[in-house]
Amino acid sequence: MSRIKDAFDAVAAAIIAQKDYLSDIDAKAGDGDHGFNMARGFRAAQEKVDEMDDTSLPGPVLIKIGKALIQNVGGAAGPLYGAAFVKAGEACDEETRMNIKSFEKLLAAAIEAIQSRGRAEQGDKTILDALIPIHDCFLPENVEDKNLFEVLQEASKAAGDGVNYTKEIPAKKGRASLVGERSIGVEDPGAVSTMLMYRALYQFLKR
Ligand code: ADP
Ligand code: MG
Ligand code: MG
């Protein structure tokens, strides 16, 4: 048992609990499997993390999760989330602590992993429309005089604002881009899953 493992279990539980909701919103402009894909991937990742002897350092745990997601999630989001977890894990070093600077660094590595593979930008109605606003809250110019918990809370709100923004725009990447303007009015499933993961982590850390 470790705090890192417990934090991941909280994130996985949130995704598994919202499986049907995530698939329902994916059915509106995509193929209706996002919750199913994510739940399967996170269950597999939990099994892999359970098998680890040492879960005291974030790097190896994040890499283990990422590889499990890459191997077990069929859809577009799985390999992207998988790469994000692997690259965030690889960005960890002996300086990695629970602080604003480490969050900034790990989130930046995750975004770079997703963008180098998926070639999406903010505003394309993807995961990035929640993840980039979360990351922005941790940037040095936005954190002056704030403590970690104030920043974590701001980022929780930013994730929600990002999800709401995805309702107003057409998808430019992924399966939903095939239906063009018809994707307007529906939030992006990947942005929602990112928000749920982030908020589960935030709630866990706040306890
Ligand atoms: P699939 O579309 O293959 O069925 P999922 O339903 O699991 O896969 O995932 C869909 C989500 O993947 C979208 O809602 C979107 O957030 C995300 N996504 C798709 N393509 C990209 C991309 N190129 N960059 C970032 N995120 C993407
Ligand atoms: Mg889908
Ligand atoms: Mg699919």
The alpha carbon of 192 and the centre of ligand 3 are apart by a number of angstroms equal to 16
Instruction: List b or e across 172-195, with b for residues whose CB sees 16 or more CB atoms inside 10 angstroms.
Output: ebbbbbeeeeebeebbbbbbbbbb
The alpha carbon of 110 and the centre of ligand 2 are apart by a number of angstroms equal to 21
Q: What is the pLDDT along the chain (207 residues), one digit of tens a residue?
A: 689 999 999 999 999 999 999 999 999 999 999 999 999 999 999 999 999 999 999 999 999 999 999 999 888 999 999 999 999 999 999 889 999 999 999 999 999 999 999 999 999 999 999 999 999 999 999 999 999 999 999 999 999 999 999 999 999 999 999 998 888 999 999 999 999 999 999 999 998
Domain range for 158: 3-206
The CA distance from 187 to 203, in Å, is: 22
Non-local (6+) Cβ contacts of 147 within 8 A are: none
Ligand 1 near 124 CB (within 6 A): no
The CA distance from 109 to 73, in Å, is: 21
The SS3 assignment for 54 reads coil
pLDDT at residue 204, as a whole number? 98
pLDDT at residue 35, as a whole number? 98
- Total number of domains in the chain: 1
pTM, rounded to two decimals = 0.97
Q: Which atom of ligand 1 is nearest to the CA of 73?
A: 7
The alpha carbon of 49 and the centre of ligand 3 are apart by a number of angstroms equal to 25
The CA distance from 174 to 68, in Å, is: 22
Ligand 1 near 129 CB (within 6 A): no
Name the residue of 21, 70, 132, 173 to mutate for ligand 1: max ligand atoms within 8 A of Cβ: 173
pLDDT at residue 180, as a whole number? 83
Query: Do residues 137 and 153 make contact, with C-beta atoms less than 8 angstroms apart?
Result: no
Q: Give which of 110, 116, 144 is closest to 130, Cα–Cα.
A: 110
pLDDT at residue 1, as a whole number? 61
Residues with CB under 5 A from ligand 3 (ion): 31, 33, 75
CATH code for the domain of 40: 1.25.40.340
